[in-house]
């Protein structure tokens, strides 16, 4: 805190870093909206000149599966997120408030695997996926995603801070344990669930390596895999590539602007790297 | 029987609550990790399954020697990328959060949001953007070089500088998580500390050095480890920026795992290389754990 050697210099620095932070994305969008023939303009413009949707039209007519990729990504990220919201909250609650044999063993096993890089599990997961005939199946993208444990920690941390009196009152009123969870805990967890849902969705929307490995047919691609593939398929039609990348970034940017507060709160809760 | 029923009544719900998470966790994390370790000592093929190697550690030897030892170069590249980006991310995060800390609530929120915005887009899109910024003929980077009177560079096609270009693109991506976490940590330092120091005649720099820095030590360490692990795992960016690899000059650990496992279908070697990555991350994590344990909280 409180480092101000020189106000003008500080503002200059902050302005400069803001430009550095935002400009690449901005440039991508300008290029996506500038009509591009064979070679893009080498003098960067601040605004698309002339403004045109021709790249996007060309993208959607030539890369026929583009919208399907988006739908696949929504399906994958949405399903994984739903799983985490429900079951991470449930097990987070049990780890936070319940005392049962092997509880700490379970918890430490989960905790210790936080440092296992996902890349280590790729080979066995791929072999099993092949043998089950699930190559090119979106459920094979979804299933390993349900095993991420960061949500369990997030929810446990949060639920630990909730007072236990309300649960006890509900029990006295005759609620069974699930009813206590559903009626008392779940409503109190809304801020943490919002953060968890947002991060889980963004994470899985952006996931790349695993879908790249097991999805072979264009129609099954998720958006990241499809967009990366545009580079090979339309190697010289830069307009299509720019439009594809910009359109893929747009939903997450809109998502961020809409739920900014929860995003930054979620980072603070120590949920994810980013 | 009686006691079993009592046990189920008492703890049944708890186990039911953790069951779904534990089941997927065992199937998709625990079991694959163990099996991956087994495969790393086998010659594995989809048709014939795994055969133990003789000597049993042969995959680990091959991991470092196939294709003239590219993996050694890959580790070196990864470590260089990691050292530069971790240092710059932590440092830039620290400077930016220190600078926005004295600002009002609205301005602070604005800067945090502006820095965070690009971080929500995928590494694939960011990597593609940078690939074209670095384009030799019409890219933004060469335009800027030309403006200041320098010769254009072949950013991504010159093997001598391709890794540096990729690293630079990460350095120039504002470390959003660091800014948010540093800001939160700095905001929670009691104001009295600064007031007391001011009464004692300490200037702003000394207050920052003697109060702020020591009190955000654990966050600094946490971020350093976070960024170290993320940089060890760097893949997407490299994959989309230089698909061809530029004469192996941009190979990283994970691009090697991908190539060996899923392009050459040499599962054993890919698994072994995965465990080398695991080992590197484990060392960093243990270091963090020990450092945090000895940390004195205020």
User: What pLDDT, on the 0 to 100 scale, is given for residue A5?
Assistant: 55
CA A168 to chain centre: 36
Domain boundaries, chain B: 2-37, 66-127+166-293
CB atoms within 10 A of CB A12: 11
Looking at the complex, does the CB of residue B193 fall below 8 Å from at least one CB of chain A?
no
* Residue contacts between A and B (CB atoms, under 8 Å): 295
Give the C-alpha separation, B235 to B123, whole Å: 9
Q: At what angle do helices B58-100 and B217-232 cross, to 10 degrees?
A: 140
Give the C-alpha separation, B78 to B245, whole Å: 14
Looking at the complex, does the CB of residue B216 fall below 8 Å from at least one CB of chain A?
no
Give the C-alpha separation, B243 to B170, whole Å: 18
Give the C-alpha separation, B231 to B239, whole Å: 14
Looking at the complex, does the CB of residue A247 fall below 8 Å from at least one CB of chain B?
no
Residues 36-95 of B with CB under 8 A from A: 36, 39, 44, 46, 92, 95
Chain B residues lying within 8 Å of A122, measured CB to CB: 257, 261-262, 270, 274
CB contact under 8 A, B274 and A242: no
Looking at the complex, does the CB of residue B101 fall below 8 Å from at least one CB of chain A?
yes
Identify from B6, B21, B212 which residue to disrupt to test chain A contact, counting A C-beta atoms within 10 A and taking the largest count.
Answer: B21
Nearest CA in chain A to B190: A1
- Dihedral angle sign, alpha carbons of residues B134, B140, B144, B145: positive
Identify from B106, B116, B125 which residue to disrupt to test chain A contact, counting A C-beta atoms within 10 A and taking the largest count.
Answer: B125
User: What pLDDT, on the 0 to 100 scale, is given for residue B157?
Assistant: 92
* Of A246, A185, A218, the residue nearest A26 (C-alpha): A246
Q: Which residues contact A150 (CB under 8 A, 6 or more apart)?
A: A114, A199, A271, A272
* Of A55, A32, A17, the residue nearest B132 (C-alpha): A32
How near does any CA of chain A get to the CA of B55, in Å? 21
Chain B residues lying within 8 Å of A40, measured CB to CB: 132, 135, 138
Q: Residue B98 is nearest to which of A3, A115, A232, comparing CB atoms?
A: A3
Q: Is B284 helix (H, G, I), strand (E, B) or coil?
A: helix
User: What pLDDT, on the 0 to 100 scale, is given for residue B122?
Assistant: 93
Under DSSP, the state recorded for A237 is -
Give the C-alpha separation, A130 to A102, whole Å: 35
Nearest CA in chain A to B256: A119
A34 CB-contact burial (10 Å; exposed 0-12 / middle 13-18 / buried 19+):
buried
Looking at the complex, does the CB of residue A112 fall below 8 Å from at least one CB of chain B?
no
Query: ipTM score of the complex?
Result: 0.91
Give the C-alpha separation, B165 to B131, whole Å: 9
pLDDT, tens digit, for every residue of A218-229?
Answer: 999 999 999 999
* Of A149, A129, A124, A114, the residue nearest A211 (C-alpha): A129
Strand partners, B49: B45
What's the length of chain A?
Answer: 274
Domain boundaries, chain A: 30-36+51-268
Chain B residues lying within 8 Å of A213, measured CB to CB: 258, 262
Domain B66-127+166-293 matching CATH 1.10.3720.10: the answer reads yes
How near does any CA of chain A get to the CA of B68, in Å? 23
Looking at the complex, does the CB of residue B262 fall below 8 Å from at least one CB of chain A?
yes
CATH class of the domain defined by A30-36+51-268: mainly alpha
* Of B287, B240, B235, the residue nearest B261 (C-alpha): B235
Chain B residues lying within 8 Å of A110, measured CB to CB: 25
* Of A23, A45, A194, A246, the residue nearest B115 (C-alpha): A23
Looking at the complex, does the CB of residue A147 fall below 8 Å from at least one CB of chain B?
yes
For residues A119 and B32, the answer to whether their CB atoms sit within 8 Å is no
pLDDT < 50 positions in chain A: 1-3, 271-274
For residues B214 and B296, the answer to whether their CB atoms sit within 8 Å is no
Residues 76-105 of A with CB under 8 A from B: 87-88, 90-91, 93-95, 98, 100-101, 103
User: What pLDDT, on the 0 to 100 scale, is given for residue A271?
Assistant: 42
Q: Per-residue pLDDT tens, chain B, 298 aa: give them.
A: 678 888 888 889 999 999 999 999 999 999 999 999 999 999 999 888 889 998 999 999 999 998 888 999 999 999 999 999 999 999 999 999 999 988 888 998 899 999 999 989 999 999 999 999 999 888 999 999 999 999 999 999 999 999 999 999 999 999 999 999 999 899 889 989 988 998 988 888 888 999 999 999 889 998 999 999 999 999 999 999 998 778 889 999 999 999 999 999 999 999 999 999 999 999 988 887 787 665 544 3
What does the block give as tokens for B217? 């030590």
Q: Residue B32 is nearest to which of A14, A124, A252, comparing CB atoms?
A: A124
Beta strand B49-52 pairing with B42-45: antiparallel
How near does any CA of chain B get to the CA of A263, in Å? 9
User: What pLDDT, on the 0 to 100 scale, is given for residue A111?
Assistant: 81
* Of B29, B24, B196, B147, the residue nearest A117 (C-alpha): B29
Looking at the complex, does the CB of residue B213 fall below 8 Å from at least one CB of chain A?
no
User: What pLDDT, on the 0 to 100 scale, is given for residue B257?
Assistant: 96
Strands (E), B10-101: 42-45, 49-52
Chain A residues lying within 8 Å of B116, measured CB to CB: 256, 260, 263-264, 267, 274
Chain A residues lying within 8 Å of B176, measured CB to CB: 267, 274
Q: Residue B133 is nearest to which of A24, A103, A268, comparing CB atoms?
A: A24
CB contact under 8 A, B98 and A1: yes
Chain B residues lying within 8 Å of A263, measured CB to CB: 116, 120
User: What pLDDT, on the 0 to 100 scale, is given for residue A274?
Assistant: 32
CB contact under 8 A, A28 and B129: yes
How near does any CA of chain B get to the CA of A249, in Å? 5
């Amino acid at each position: 805190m409180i480092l101000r050697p020189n106000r003008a210099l500080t503002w200059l620095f902050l302005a400069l870093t803001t430009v550095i932070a935002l400009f690449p994305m901005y440039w991508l969008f300008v290029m996506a909206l500038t009509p591009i023939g064979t070679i893009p303009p080498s003098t960067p413009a601040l605004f698309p000149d002339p403004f045109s949707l021709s790249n996007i039209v060309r993208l959607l007519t030539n890369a026929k599966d583009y919208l399907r990729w988006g739908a696949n990504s929504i399906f994958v990220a949405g399903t994984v997120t739903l799983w985490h919201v429900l079951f991470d909250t449930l097990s987070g609650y049990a780890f936070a408030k319940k005392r049962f044999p092997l509880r700490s063993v379970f918890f430490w096993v989960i905790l210790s695997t936080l440092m296992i890089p996902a890349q280590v599990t790729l080979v066995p997961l791929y072999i099993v996926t092949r043998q089950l005939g699930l190559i090119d199946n979106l459920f094979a993208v979804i299933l390993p995603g349900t095993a991420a444990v960061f949500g369990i920690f997030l929810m446990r941390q949060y639920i630990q801070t909730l007072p236990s009196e309300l649960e006890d009152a509900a029990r006295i009123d005759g609620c069974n344990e699930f009813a206590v969870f559903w009626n008392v805990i779940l409503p109190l967890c809304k801020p943490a669930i919002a953060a968890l849902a947002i991060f889980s969705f963004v994470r899985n929307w952006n996931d790349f390596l695993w879908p790249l490995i097991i999805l072979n047919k264009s129609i099954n691609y998720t958006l990241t895999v499809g967009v990366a593939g545009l580079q090979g398929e339309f190697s010289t039609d830069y307009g299509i590539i720019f439009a594809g990348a910009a359109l893929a970034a747009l939903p997450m940017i809109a998502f961020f602007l809409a739920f900014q507060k929860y995003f930054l709160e979620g980072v603070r809760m120590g949920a994810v790297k980013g | 029987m009686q006691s079993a029923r009592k046990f189920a009544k008492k703890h049944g719900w708890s186990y039911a609550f953790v069951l779904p998470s534990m089941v997927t966790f065992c199937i998709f994390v625990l079991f694959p990790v163990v099996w991956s370790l087994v495969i790393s000592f086998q010659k594995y093929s989809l048709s014939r399954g795994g055969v133990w190697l003789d000597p049993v550690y042969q995959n680990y030897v091959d991991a470092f020697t196939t294709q003239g030892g590219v993996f050694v170069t890959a580790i070196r590249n990864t470590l260089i990328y990691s050292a530069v980006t971790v240092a710059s991310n932590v440092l830039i995060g620290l400077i930016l959060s220190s600078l926005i800390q004295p600002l009002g609530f609205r301005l602070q929120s604005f800067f945090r949001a502006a820095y965070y915005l690009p971080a929500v887009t995928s590494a694939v899109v960011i990597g593609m953007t940078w690939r074209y910024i670095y384009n030799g003929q019409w890219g933004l980077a060469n335009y800027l070089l030309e403006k200041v009177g320098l010769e254009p560079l072949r950013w991504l096609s010159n093997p001598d500088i391709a890794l540096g270009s990729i690293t630079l693109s990460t350095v120039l991506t504002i470390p959003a998580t660091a800014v948010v976490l540093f800001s939160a940590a700095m905001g929670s330092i009691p104001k009295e500390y600064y007031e007391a120091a001011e009464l004692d005649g300490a200037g702003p720099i000394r207050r920052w050095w003697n109060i702020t820095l020591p009190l955000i030590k654990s966050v600094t360490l946490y971020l350093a480890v976070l960024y170290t692990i993320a940089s060890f795992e760097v893949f997407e960016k490299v994959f989309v920026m230089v698909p061809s690899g530029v004469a192996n000059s941009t190979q990283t650990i994970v691009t090697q795992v991908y190539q060996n496992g899923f392009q050459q279908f040499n599962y054993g070697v890919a698994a072994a290389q995965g465990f080398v990555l695991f080992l590197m991350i484990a060392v960093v994590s243990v270091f963090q754990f020990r450092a945090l344990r000895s940390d004195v909280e205020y």
